[in-house]
Structure 1
Amino acid sequence: MAQSATSHLFGESAIDAPRPMRVVVVGAGFSGIIAGIRFLQHVPNVQLTIYEALSGIGGTWFANKYPGLACDIPAHCYQLTFHEKTDWSSFYARGLRCADFQSIAVLRRAHFPVTEIQAYLESVVDKYNLRPFIQLEHRLTSAVYSEATGKWNLTIQRPNKASEGEPDGETGEGDVSSPWEDTVESWKDKRVGVIGVGSSAIQIVPALQPKVRHLNNYVRGKTWISSPFLGERAEKLGMGKTESNYIFTDKDKELFKDPAYYKEFRRDLESDLNSIHVVTLKGHPVQEGGRAAFKADMLKRLETHPAIAEHLIPDFPVGCRRLTPGPGYLEAICQDNVEFIPTEIKQILPNGIERVDGKIDELDIISLGPNSAVGSGSLLIVIERQVQYAVEATLKLQREHLKSMDVKPEAVADWDAYIEHHFAKTVFSERCRSWYKQGMYEGRVVALWPGSCLHAVRALEHPRWEDYTYEPLDGHTNRFFWAGNGTTIAEETPGADRAWYLSEGEVDFPPVPLH
């Protein structure tokens, strides 16, 4: 009776004995891959599954294979902190076939076109042996939390079937990618319409323009097209402030093989990239200077077509919409086989597009260009820190034998107030149609972190556990239940190291002052 009465007060295992944890990651893009690596690295006794709806890893870099596909920040800034690539083909990493660059073994076994960034992700997955944990063609269709059990009930859909619980390992055939690279070569006699001026459309237009008979670009709104982002280190390589993408030479890549040189090059680029947050602040001199410089650059590049410049150059601040370099876009829309159409579309017809003014454009092919990305800086370092935050929360649940943790309503309210205060000071709240505001001209900014990229990194460093409420596991009622039976695993394991705190890496040596 006495033992039963105290079973909910004191744990019976060693203080550092990790209880089993089941972790499910949704998606095998950058975020899912980072999560897989870090959870396996930091969380002991974990059962990990990564569900990916598509038939290959890479997320958007697997799904998207449109002409001109490229990253719109420097390739050397679009990689993980712990897995560097020195042989990027160009300043803005492009979508290439596997045969166009030095590939890893797994890509030689692939049967689909592979982008350079996807190849990078494939190399990360293979280096950290994540494939056994990834279930391809497994789409999460619902996730329902059970208050009674403290667990999530997931519904996973596979090709031609849906099931509850554990997957049986069946997979379908085929992939969802479009055979762009095979078909575009046959479009030389085609009339093509590209709708929009988002980041994808800006890449598609210059890629298609030389390969088709005629191209219509339907542009309802305005947008800023920046010159390519180049830091001082990049200019020293001889890149210059060119309007096109810079292709790295063999000499460049040889320089990058020097670890010290490469580290300095990358740090310079990322430092420059992380210095542009001030352009998002209303009335800041950098915002005003950038606006004047971008306008002058766009006017110069469109000097033969002033009507396009008049329609395209915005009256809203730089950064209100996603800022995209768009190498070659402005030059492409000035070509003789391109018509820039600012008239809105009324409807899509079987043989083309009808404008609101009644004019019908007969077209053979329509491509749609969605717009997506982040406000400023590289998203990847933020993703890494978000994953680490989730790891820390999981470790807390494991270490302290907690059933659940839930953010306090008052913490949500305070954070909401902070968000509203911050965005009122930024260009994101100005009147422009943006995915930051769910495609609206005005409204709440819902897609961005309220601050710079570096601000997010610092904010996520130290979780505020006091902002959460916790539910104990198995009904234990003593908050120190996690302290266990008063021993550690080392003491209960014959031959274990019982002076581990003296091991290499465990001792924190303070610096000795110079006298």
Structure 2
Amino acid sequence: MDRHSHALIVGAGFSGLASAIKLQTHWKTTDYQIYDRDSEFGGTWQQNTYPGAASDIPALWYCLASDPKVDWKEPYPSQGELRQYIKDVAEKYNLRKRATFGAEIEKVEWLPDQQMWKASIKDVATGNKYTHTSRVVFMGKGCLVVPNKFKAAGIEDFKGPIMHTAKWDHTVDYKGKNVVVIGNGCSAVQVCAAIAPEVGTLTQFARTPQWMVPRPEWKWLKTIGETFPFMLGLVRFLMFLTLEANFSLFRGGWYARADRAVRTWVCTKLLKWHLPKKYHENSIPKYELGCKRIIYDCGYWKALHQKNVELSYDPIVRLTSNSVITKSGQEWPADIIVDATGFNVAASMGGLEIVGETGENLVDFWNGKVSAYETVMVANYPNMFFLFGPNATTGHNSVIFAIENALKWIENVASDLITGTATYVTVKNEAYDSWTQKVHEASKKMAFSTGGCVSWYMSASGAGHNGVTYPWTQFTAWWRARFPVKSDMIVKSKKNE
């Protein structure tokens, strides 16, 4: 069975949703097909269903500009509420009739004679395979897809369940049990805060401490947005400005260093104020504020004061059938192990085989230096657009804003391709190389590179290369999306083929 549409959308999360809406509302076409290996719309909010899962960006800003929502239950929306929002938006635009779920795209290959992409797809349930050709590909595959796996000696001896936060098993009853959580990033903190009141004991094992701050509640802006819906645009803009003010935490220069010094002093005081005294020595980070994504407290500090909760930096050396043994020789009871060690970003970005017009696999082309021109296009991979691509991530703002900027850039560069008057759009090799070098040089001055930590932002893309975070302000991203350098592009129309 072979299929065809003008556009193919990979992923049914926010990227896929925004792409489909843009195709329908701006380009006035429904000639597209969405594919997702999961069973429903939602993307990361369909996959990550662990207790406490929620956005760390305020709800009024963490939604599509085309479909803002005022009546959120919480200032920071939960996984369930976000998943429902995505499903509601999908229903509003009738996207389900053009979506295929349980479909894993294994390979996407450029067909030079036809100037199209051919996707090889497997039905997850049956194993049946088929192909889909399209002129355009919107790549909405996320970078947090492939979970890291906790490894330890004796892991095969452990008798209880071991589950990653992204693969939470809701049949497992953790109430009254001895639960061990591995990791102390965002997901670990959220899980600990959520389950601490219900478990028998909770032991969290961390490798390095994290900078953590109280979570702003945005109550006055939320009240304005709910009371005066016509002012929602202004409220969202004020939220954007407030979040963007945090960019100075990550940049180089004397002002940023001074700002970090002041904020570091404040954050250190906050940690000492909120943490139990026994954790002060090991829980104050030695690396610079901004080197890793800052975590907002969601009840985690309160959980650490419970008698049944323990935080340990003692490395795990092995497991037994019902316990964890650490380097000091201490044995910790364990009925359930929660793996909150994050994701393999490199594997997530390169897991899908993409073969461009030179016949080279994208992973081999990148060779550890993941990059995309304006975060959207890769040279020699024409008509393919990354919606939340390399260097689109920020350490302080909304991914949805980055996705919408990418779509605005596509609108200004490739509308002829979408509407059918052009057949081929790509970025020139020299422009791509220049962009990659500029991003690399700018990233070297950022706190992600200079802050003295081991960050997934850096380790994801190869030694010394940051292919994850955007090294400039989101004002810059907004501007460049609306005023692209069209001379950097190659466009072939039907009449000059």
Deviation at 1:73? 1.4
1:299 aligned to which of 261, 272, 289: 272
The 1:435–1:420 alpha-carbon spacing in structure 2 relative to 1, beyond 3 Å, is same
Deviation at 1:470? 4.0
Alignment pair present for 1:161 and 2:148: no
Deviation at 1:62? 0.9
Partners of 1:46 and 1:64 in 2: how far apart? Answer: 30
May I ask how many residue pairs the two structures share in their alignment?
A: 408
Partner of 1:484: none
Partner of 1:386: 406
Alignment pair present for 1:47 and 2:47: no
The 1:160–1:258 alpha-carbon spacing in structure 2 relative to 1, beyond 3 Å, is same
The 1:204–1:27 alpha-carbon spacing in structure 2 relative to 1, beyond 3 Å, is same
Cα deviation per residue 1:68-99 (whole Å; 9 max; x = unaligned)? 1111111111111121211111111123xxxx
Partner AA of 1:376 in structure 2? H
Partners of 1:441 and 1:344 in 2: how far apart? Answer: 26
CA contact (8 A) 2:59 2:76 kept: yes
Partner AA of 2:274 in structure 1? R
Partner of 2:302: 331
Partners of 1:148 and 1:81 in 2: how far apart? Answer: 38
Cα deviation per residue 1:350-407 (whole Å; 9 max; x = unaligned)? 4333323444433110111244774121121110121232344442225684432332
The 10-residue stretch of structure 1 (462-471 or 392-401) with the greater mean CA deviation from structure 2:
392-401
Partner of 1:28: 12
Deviation at 1:209? 0.8
Partner of 2:229: 259
Partner of 1:345: 316
Deviation at 1:437? 0.9
2:290 aligned to which of 319, 327, 349: 319
Partner of 2:262: 289
Partners of 1:432 and 1:142 in 2: how far apart? Answer: 35
Alignment pair present for 1:200 and 2:166: no
Alignment pair present for 1:64 and 2:30: no
The 1:425–1:229 alpha-carbon spacing in structure 2 relative to 1, beyond 3 Å, is farther
SS of 1:143's equivalent?
strand
Tell me, which stretches of 5 or more residues in structure 2 are unaligned? 134-165, 344-392
Partners of 2:250 and 2:89 in 1: how far apart? Answer: 33
CA contact (8 A) 1:199 1:326 kept: no
Partner of 1:191: 178
SS of 2:213's equivalent?
coil
Cα deviation per residue 1:139-194 (whole Å; 9 max; x = unaligned)? 11111112222111111111121312259xxxxxxxx96453x64xx433200000
CA contact (8 A) 1:77 1:269 kept: yes
Partners of 2:90 and 2:36 in 1: how far apart? Answer: 14
Alignment pair present for 1:225 and 2:212: yes
The 1:313–1:44 alpha-carbon spacing in structure 2 relative to 1, beyond 3 Å, is same
Partners of 1:427 and 1:85 in 2: how far apart? Answer: 34
Partner of 2:21: 37
Partner AA of 1:381 in structure 2? F
Partners of 2:208 and 2:103 in 1: how far apart? Answer: 38
Alignment pair present for 1:276 and 2:297: no
Partners of 1:262 and 1:147 in 2: how far apart? Answer: 47
Deviation at 1:196? 0.6
Partners of 1:440 and 1:405 in 2: how far apart? Answer: 26
1:458 aligned to which of 464, 474, 479: 479
Greater fraction of residues in strand:
2
Structural mapping, 1:102-251, within 5 Å: 115-158=80-123, 159-166=125-132, 178-180=168-170, 183=172, 186-230=173-217, 234=219, 236=220
Partners of 1:34 and 1:298 in 2: how far apart? Answer: 38
The 10-residue stretch of structure 1 (269-278 or 187-196) with the greater mean CA deviation from structure 2:
269-278
Partners of 2:227 and 2:66 in 1: how far apart? Answer: 16
2:428 aligned to which of 408, 413, 432: 408
Partner of 1:420: 440
Partners of 1:227 and 1:321 in 2: how far apart? Answer: 16
CA contact (8 A) 2:33 2:99 kept: yes
Deviation at 1:58? 0.5
Partners of 2:120 and 2:169 in 1: how far apart? Answer: 31
1:395 aligned to which of 412, 415, 421: 415
Partner AA of 2:195 in structure 1? L
Tell me, which stretches of 5 or more residues in structure 1 are unaligned? 1-19, 96-114, 168-175, 238-247, 482-515
* Percent identity (aligned): 25
Partners of 1:471 and 1:348 in 2: how far apart? Answer: 60
Partner AA of 1:164 in structure 2? Y
Cα deviation per residue 1:318-372 (whole Å; 9 max; x = unaligned)? 1111111022212212321111110122244443333234444331101112447
The 1:163–1:469 alpha-carbon spacing in structure 2 relative to 1, beyond 3 Å, is same
CA contact (8 A) 1:216 1:338 kept: yes
CA contact (8 A) 2:121 2:130 kept: yes
Partners of 1:37 and 1:265 in 2: how far apart? Answer: 23
CA contact (8 A) 2:23 2:29 kept: no
Partner AA of 1:355 in structure 2? T
The 10-residue stretch of structure 1 (277-286 or 410-419) with the greater mean CA deviation from structure 2:
277-286
CA contact (8 A) 2:120 2:131 kept: yes
Of structures 1 and 2, the larger Rg is shown by 1
Partners of 2:324 and 2:41 in 1: how far apart? Answer: 35
SS of 1:129's equivalent?
coil
Partner of 2:62: 78
SS of 2:295's equivalent?
coil
